[in-house]
Structure formats: structure tokens, C-alpha cells
Amino acid sequence: MTEQFVGQQLRAAQAPLSNPQLFYWQRTGGKQGEIDYIIQHGNRVVPFEVKSGKAGTMKSLHHFMAEKGHDFAVRCNINQPLVENLRIKTTSGRQVSYRLLSIPVYMTERIHDLIDQAQKGIFKM
């Protein structure tokens, strides 16, 4: 249910006259995994992971970030808003570093403003 709500909010946050579409990423071969949504922010691709509880592993997100070389991602859960710099090893032992914006589900509609703030280092609620 949480993923459905977030998906609707992400579609609504897209340009009003565009044809809103949602995309996801699925790992092929080896261990299975997926990123819930892939959104476009300006000229950047931003992976968007949805967690319905307070905690949860993000193995697929870490793998995606290492494989694609991206430096920014979003996690949506029920915790307080937070921006953090992660430095983690993937399950294959590969080192990955990126900035993670965590937002509560109810703030999804403000995603583009929040990404701008997080990337400029002026994240405020």
C-alpha cells in the first residue's frame, strides 16, 4: 500500500502537461533485487526506494549505486527527514559512497524541492 501511495504522489509531482510515467530498476542475473522507482530530476536520474517501516536493508539500492556510479538517492519511510552521506560495502564487497535523502511518506509530494535543498546543502523542513 505504501508503494502505491508513493507512486501516485510521484506521478502527481511530474510536470502537469507531461505524460507522467513511473519507472523502476530490476537486477538481472544472480541475486534478484529492485529499486521501487527511478525518477528524473532535472537532467539527473534519481533512484527512489520505499520502505514501509522504520528500518530495512537497502541491498539493491547499494548495488544500483555502485553499478551505475550515481551519487544521490532517495529513501521514503516513516522516519524523520534526514540527509546523510553513506559509505557502505555491497553484498559483493564493493565500496560505494553516496548521499541519501530520507523523507517520510507524507512528504513525497515535495520531492523535487527536497532534492534541490539536499543537493545544495540547505535541507530544511
Question: What digits encode the pLDDT tens for the residues 6-20?
Answer: 888 888 887 666 677
Q: Count structural domains, the chain.
A: 1
Does residue 17 form part of some domain?
Answer: no
- The kind and range of the H/E element at 7 are helix 2-12
Mean pLDDT value across the chain: 86
Query: What pLDDT, on the 0 to 100 scale, is given for residue 124?
Result: 62
- What is the b/e burial string over 77-93, where b = at least 16 CB atoms within 10 angstroms of the residue's CB? beeeeebeeeebebeee
In a domain, 40, yes or no: yes
- Domain assignment of residue 18, yes or no: no
Instruction: Print the domain residue range for 49.
Output: 2-12+23-120
